[in-house]
Chains A and B, each alone.
Chain A
Amino acid sequence: MTDVLQATFIVGLFAGMIRIATPILLAAMGELVAESAGILNLSIEGTMLMGAFSGFLVAHITGSLWLGVVAAIASGALIGLLMAFLSATLRADQTVSGLALNIVASGLAFYLFRLAFKNAGSQNLPSVGAFSTVEIPLLGQIPFLGEVLFTQHALTYLAFLLVPLISLFLFRTRPGLELRSIGENPRAVDMRGLNVVRRQYLAVIFGAMMAGLAGSFLSLASAGLFVPDIAGGRGWIALAIVIFGNWLPARILFGALFFGLIDSSQLALQAVGLHLPYQLLLALPYLLTIAALVVNRSRSRSPLALGRPYNRAERGA
């Protein structure tokens, strides 16, 4: 390879890493907030798919990508509301509720897509002109770094900006600390006269909105089209990365970037024409996620009350 080719290869690799990490990061940071309030929301994958679909549909109809993004966030909020109702109000089993909502959301997205685009086949998929990247003035001019870091989608900047913001919120502000206390010991928060259920609603809805937003990134920024398997397990990966990141924003960021790097290197190597068994390379992040679960468990910072329905009337334990 010549130097020029080598440079494009490396820029493509790292720019791809950041682009691929974006939706996972968005969803994982949202899930972190929900889990901080003690609610394990397993419906992220379905929510993402629904976000990708509703974002695409609205953008296709109105011609406005940003309206699509708003629609994706709104659809996420709706699914989050249902999840909060099931888990915080009805106190249903969170695992089962999350799985059920997952199936509802992906089933509905699939059905509504077929309904809205009856003639969509693999040859003539409907599409929208996707978001183009936004070059940040001056910073974008820096060789190498500018192309990797500062020539990305607007939603990518947002995702990376949200990491320190959510981190500050959760660890340095009063409402954030109250939220995390719910995840550790809901009764203690309740006894102080703070409304546990309302905070759980807000946290779960926020998390689901982030998943919806992540979905819109897939359909409106990455692809410009919608296919029923567009989420491709990224919602599950986001869930895994929260565990992998041990509920710490900085490590979640690292996890998302790491996943992005592997996926991106697979794409980059294919683009160069290297004949690798790319399927096996693609399996690597999933295997590494499993490995991380195994390695991490002794120092887990998992919220103590995560996944346990909080019942005011129930005493003890």
Chain B
Amino acid sequence: MTTTGQGMPRGAGAGQLTQAKASARGRWRIQARMQPSAAWRSVSILAALLGAFVLSALLIASAHVNVGTALGVMVQGAFGSRGAVIETLVQATPFILTGLAVTVAFRGRIFNIGAEGQFFAGAMAAYWLATVLRGAPQAVMLPAVLLAGCAGGALWGFIPGVLKARYGASEIIVTVMLNFVIALVLSFLLANPWREPTSYFYQTALMPDASYLPRLVSGGRLHLGFPLALVVAALVWVLLWKTTLGYEIRAMGINSLAARYKGISVATTTILVLVISGAIAGLAGVGELTGIHHRLRLDISVGYGFAGIIIALLGQLHPVGVVLAAIFLGALLNGASAMQIVTGVPVALVNAIQGITLLCLLIADVLARYEIRRTAGND
């Protein structure tokens, strides 16, 4: 039996250690909990966030900047005005989707590290279809482009799915390799056939207007992608907890051998998981393409796919948690830009904070599974 990881479905560890009964002198010992209570887990998460906060403050302090001032600027930048809040939600939009993409996969213990590549595959498919359909009305164009994005991402998830299901190739390595492949394919396309003829930059021409996701508020970049991401979050919840496939995914995540004995086709489920995960990541790609940039460039993602891993784990592999974690990260990024301008602390701080938070949570999650108890053991 494998020990379940951070945020993994519980219950698999239940078979662990039940020992130390019997006799004589009492003694303090550390032992595994059968089932960490919700309260205890919340405490451990809070402790982890506190630990991450302290470490992050130390990092800011290492830049010889007053930590209070820097944090104040950050909060202001993230939530200080209507415009700031809107921009935070704009930043959160791709995070929600890539976080959900990773959630679906990790729930089934399929380690999809390829959300970044699937993001680009989605954006590329969407761009291609938009140029093919140039001139079509918005009612046709917009749904078609969104679907193309999902399809592109799904295809880039299907490949590692099949390779794992049929040939047992590690999805971790394959998805990482495919990230590099798609980035190279895109940079080839941007250097040659897709390049805007008049441009000095490696970028395509602007896409047709009909493919733009409608903006929701005046004076802000918030677009239809945000509510769409929330809908996808709800759908992912339904998928995982209200459908047979979702049950199978979670069963596979807890113990794939047991799932196989129950008659679940692990191969089919593996492929489906990666296809769905890829489709959601692809949607994130279209969202950024048609909601924000309106043209394809290499920098339409600033690591959204990789951030998805962090968000999924911070959000405890639950859609609600993912949305919260994504908004938190959006706020962090947005606030850090303000902080860089005012105090000079590099925005790259966000990358470090993300990793530290994740590490603290991971440690807390493991520790929450143990307790110190006075036992009546003599061993």
Interface residues of A (CB under 8 A from B): 42, 82, 86, 90-93, 95-97, 99-108, 110-111, 113-115, 118, 233, 236, 239-240, 243, 277, 279-280, 282-283, 286-287, 289-290, 293-294, 297, 308-309, 311, 313-314, 317
Contact = CB atoms under 8 A, between A and B. Distances in A.
A277 to B, nearest CB: 5
B6 A96 contact: yes
Name A's interface SS.
Answer: helix
A280 B352 contact: no
B161 to A, nearest CB: 13
Interface string B351-364: 11111101100110
B352 A107 contact: yes
Nearest to B189: A279
A314 B17 contact: yes
Given A96-B362, A110-B352, A313-B19, A243 B3 contact: no
Contacts of A280: 184-185, 188
Contacts of A233: 176, 180
A293 B173 contact: yes
Given A107-B351, A283-B184, A286-B181, A115 B17 contact: no
A280 B185 CA distance: 7
B269 interface: no
A101 B363 CA distance: 12
Contact of A108 (B6, B188, B355): B355
Interface of B: 1-6, 8, 16-17, 19, 59, 62-63, 111, 113, 163, 167-170, 172-174, 176-178, 180-181, 184-185, 187-188, 191-192, 306, 309-310, 313, 344-356, 358-359, 362-363, 365-367
A293 B4 contact: no
Given A93-B6, A96-B5, A286 B180 contact: yes
Contacts of B174: 290, 293
A298 to B, nearest CB: 9
B342 to A, nearest CB: 15
Given A103-B355, A111-B349, A297-B168, 18 more contacts: A42-B172, A92-B5, A92-B365, A93-B5, A93-B8, A95-B172, A100-B362, A103-B354, A104-B358, A106-B355, A111-B59, A114-B347, A115-B346, A243-B170, A279-B184, A290-B174, A293-B173, A313-B17
A283 B8 contact: no
Contact of B180 (A90, A92, A277, A283): A283
Rank and list the top 5 A-B pairs by shortest CB-CB distance, nearest first.
Answer: A93-B5, A104-B355, A107-B351, A114-B346, A103-B355
Nearest to A293: B169
B59 A103 contact: no
B173 A294 contact: no
A99 B185 contact: no
B188 A279 contact: yes
B19 to A, nearest CB: 7
Given A90-B366, A95-B111, A111 B192 contact: no
B111 A104 contact: no
A110 B180 CA distance: 20
Contacts of B2: 308-309
A304 to B, nearest CB: 13
B362 A97 contact: yes
A97 B3 CA distance: 13
Contact of B6 (A92, A103, A236, A311): A92
Contacts of B1: 314, 317
Contacts of B184: 279-280, 282-283, 286
26 contacts: A91-B366, A92-B3, A95-B111, A96-B5, A100-B362, A103-B310, A103-B354, A103-B355, A105-B355, A106-B351, A107-B352, A118-B344, A240-B173, A243-B173, A277-B188, A279-B185, A280-B185, A282-B184, A283-B185, A287-B177, A287-B181, A293-B167, A308-B2, A309-B2, A313-B17, A314-B17
B352 A104 contact: yes
Contacts of A293: 163, 167, 169-170, 173-174
